[in-house]
Amino acid sequence: MKISEQTLRMINQLPKDTRTKVDQVIRTHVAACVKNGSPIESLERLFIEAVEIVKLEERNPDMRFEYSSEWEPFRRYDQYSSPRDL
């Protein structure tokens, strides 16, 4: 798989901390692909989307939500009531 000069230039111009975050996003994606047995279709597209994800997270850091396995979603199971019962 090849990466175009334009994409390579974009990655090389990123600050060191941003490039580290992009690298982490790419490694996570590749690990998930390997785990699930799915091929990586476009390495160039992967790099571009990783940069977009990191920039989006830097602009909106409060969009990340904390998750706890103890939390359960609110569920409500209404029973059907016929009009005669009302």
Look up the pTM and report it.
Answer: 0.64
Residue 12 falls inside a structural domain: yes
Domain residues for the domain of 19 are 5-61
Which alpha helices (DSSP H) does 1-86 contain, by range? 5-12, 16-36, 43-59
pLDDT digits (tens, 9 = 90+) for 32-81: 999 999 888 888 899 999 999 998 888 876 656 676 777 777 776 777 76
Residue 84 falls inside a structural domain: no
Residue with tokens 């334009």: 6
pLDDT confidence band for 1 (50 / 70 / 90): low
pLDDT digits (tens, 9 = 90+) for 18-40: 999 999 999 999 999 999 998 88
Residue 82 falls inside a structural domain: no
Structural domains of the chain, count: 1
Enter the tokens of residue 23: 């690298």
Residue 80 falls inside a structural domain: no
CB 32 within 8 A of CB 24: no
Res 59: pLDDT: 83
